[in-house]
Amino acid sequence: MPPRPALGRRYAVTALVIGLLAALTSGAWAGARHRTSPATVTRVPSAAGTATPLTGYAIQSSAKVTDSTATVSSPGYPAQGWYPAGPRSTVLAALLADGVYADPFFSANQQKIPKADFQVPWWYRSDFTVQDTTRRTFLDFGGVISAADVYVDGHQMAAAKDVTGAYTHHELDITSLVRSGTNTVAFRVQPNDPDNDLTMGWIDWLQPPPDRNMGIVRDVLVRRGGPVALRDAHVLTKLAVPSLASADLTVKAQARNDTGAPVTAEITGTLGATRFTRQVPLAAHETKTVAFSPADTPGLHLTSPKVWWPAGMGGQPLYGLDLTASVAGTVSDTAHESFGIRDVQAPLNADGARQYRINGRKLLIKGGGWSPDEFLRWDSRYAEDRLRYAVDLGLNTIRLEGHLEPDEFFDLADRYGVLTLPGWECCDKWEGNVNGSDEPGDPWTDPDYPVAKASMAAEAARLRDHPSVISFLIGSDFAPDAKTETTYLDALKDADWPDPVVSAASGKSSPRLGSSGLKMTGPYDWVPPGYWYAKREGGATGFNSETSAGPSIPTLDTLRRMLTPAELDTLWKDPAARQYHRSPSPVFGTLKIYDAALTGRYGAPTSLADYVRKAQLAQYENVRAQFEAYERGATDTSKPSTGVIHWMFNSGWTSLHWQLTDRYLDQGGAYFGAKKANEPLHIQYGYDDRSVIVLNHRPTAATGLTARATLFNPDGTQKYDKSVTGLTVGGDGARGTAFTLPSSVSGLSSTYLLRLVLTDAAGTEVSRNVYWLSTRPDTLDWSGTTWYYTPTTSYADLTGLSSMAQAPVSATAATQSSDGTSTTTVTLRNTGSAKTPALLTDVHLVDAQGKPVLPVRWSDNEVSLWPGEPVTLTATYRTADLRGSAPGVRVSGWNTPERTVPAA
């Protein structure tokens, strides 16, 4: 891969996780101004083993606080004029929630927020109450961006030089300070610089937030306990593969004597029906690792274990471990861990590509790159909605390049069967030792290594029991050098990390791990659909860790929520214009490459609506081709494809690129192109060899299938038709070739349509796939390939689509609701009397004001219908998202007039 220019690949300005995304999904960014007041007081119970998160903070710039640190961090301090902040909040997230600034996701509002306000430390202050001071009390926290001095009841407990790094974990014994009644915790949070700090940066994903995400973005816990604390509880699993007939479990935890006298702790555990116990003597202030295994606890050898599988391959059962430490018959501390039983292997194949196997079964990784909210606001429901979208799209994996979400994200991934590939990010401090002069990250100094090791240790301990986590990537664009790699690997070993460790997301190697087995060869900007079938660059061979055809123009509904009328005008009229909502990178700052292809293939846009409808066609065909090429290539005997991560799955703000679903969870061509490509039983066309193949991702073989291919001119005139019956295709990603289309067909126009239909033995349609193609192919200049795209020297001629006659589509809809969920059933029919098909007919569920109801999961959408053809679609969504309105269905398409029908 050629070196990436410092301003081209990715910008660094930071990010992490948190907030109130419900406002995000409703678009209510700058709500009513909150009254400035101290945060709510947190009541901390006395029970041993409790861990209570602080419920919120009062925050203020240190430039406006003249009182001493002892005064600010003592109970009773008035905090007049301070801003309320949530329990996990960056500074800017709090100010946005308080209505200080206008919606930063609209237009260029974010540019109006003064950066200077965030170049000084900010105070975070919170009160909590306790009644019983006989318990030991600890302050447990992480997620500080970038560093903080920590105070409790007027006393400094830790300095910023020790509390540094977004991922480090800290536990402070505050027993001697805690008083009965009100106590105060205060953090003096330092400004963040991802080029100099091991925190988080936004690279070139979006316009970076002015505060650079400084704040506290994970829970700060007040832990209560007795003389012996339980920490680091986890379960190591060893599944018998390939039989899956048994599993051996090893339970481990640390027992820590927090007193100055020797004690004997009784450690008791429960795992399902198995109960185990042990007496553990501990000297004063001693910590011991306590382990239970099948050798001493036969119940930890399971027969017929409940095995965890990715979505589509099986169920997602979880086990629970409960541990208790007691001293002299009194509970001192407790711990609980959820875990799944599964086996992950990821060897390199004969071509040097990493091939994942789950529970002994080979798996093509199909995923997307995940982005948190730009201001790190966490909302569990919003995260769940996105993960459900991933399952709906037929994806099995989410990659997190840094920006590692809180625990709830991985709990959700466990529940939904979505695999995750967490790792460190590129292009800033994390890769400062290896990215040379082409990226802005500063080289490491001696104090950085313990921060890196502590970061790796904390994340390994947090993620290791989640069955959804299948690897950790200790490098991204670059692999770590020897010293950094050893730092990470030592921490992973100490944490009993159970899964494959990968040296980089690119094709780099590290001294001990060797080759990554992944590639990062692009593209990141527009390429034609046929690009994906080449066995080179970003094409369907090996494991491509981040790749797509770049820009992804959202729906017209979303565009109107994010841009002014003048900006919308510029969007379709001026390809050379800088697009603030694309990227801060000069390489990705405009839509010039994308717009040239759109005009060259489909014809120049005539209006904003025409631009958007052409964009949806272009994104549908391109995303579909990307996944279809990798799907087909997975069973190739030479240079098979083993994984593809669409860059990206979603965006952290209102964006014009790198997204399968937009900020508001609306769905367009990119979304439904991916959904079509990844359907379980699927018929598809090969852009490279004109083959018609059937792919079967169901676990069992499909028999008695009939594949049919028909070619049409845009006016609907049929020019070719062929069927093959009696097809059988094995399961688990097997493919079968039905036939190959001829290289030329008499009378076929320069632009033409291909309709593929797959029916089962009963004659029921099980897959339909419609392509718009040209007798003039896209031509690529492979010699001109850069790190972000391969130029196209001539375009396919798809302008004939503009000549298609209008095709009327009738629609009827009805809705049923139960237990907070509604299902709207829609029947569409092409009622045209001529031959012209209705191409890419889109159905949007809307409320009485015509606004999209989101999120929604469609059985299918953006369908193409020939005259007389009907189709029935279903949409499932939360009833509350109608906001009390009756539902409607808005139908439109490439050549179908828009209309809305009632759906109550």
Residue type, 456: M
Which phi and psi (to 5°) does residue 822 adopt? -115, 150
Contact 761, 508 (CB under 8 A): no
Of 315, 119, 126, 146, the residue nearest 216 (C-alpha): 146
Distances (CA, A) of 806 to 120, 149, 503, 618, 801: 60, 67, 54, 20, 11
End-to-end Cα distance, the chain: 55
Query: CA-CA distance, 446 to 718, in Å (whole number)?
Result: 71
The span from the CA of 527 to the CA of 549, in Å, is 6
Catalytic pick from 98, 405, 414, 477? 477
* Strand, coil or helix: 811: strand
**What are 755's strand-pairing partners?**
710, 770
β-bridge partners, 330: 327
Q: Quick one: tokens of 560? A: 């109107």
Q: Which of 546, 679, 778, 842 is catalytic?
A: 546
| Cis bond upstream, residue 104 (ω within 30) | no
Q: What is the DSSP letter of 431?
A: G
Region of 658 please: left (phi>0), alpha (psi -120 to 50) or beta: left
Q: Cβ of 870: how many Cβ atoms within 10 Å? A: 12
Contact 871, 821 (CB under 8 A): no
d(CA 24, CA 750): 45
Q: Among all chains, which residue has been given the structure tokens 């066309």? A: 685
- Cα 398 to chain centroid distance, Å, stands at 5
* Beta bridge pairs of residue 326: 266, 331
What are the backbone angles phi and psi of residue 556, rounded to the nearest 5°?
-65, -35
| Residue 833 bridge partners (DSSP) | none
If residue 464 lies in a helix (H) or strand (E), which one and from where to where?
none
3-state secondary structure of 729: strand
Query: How much helix, strand and coil, in percent to the nearest 5, is found in the chain?
Result: 20, 35, 45
Residues 6+ apart with CB under 8 A from 844: 555, 557, 852, 889, 890, 892
Is 546 tagged catalytic?
yes
CB atoms within 10 A of CB 270: 15
Active-site positions read 477, 546
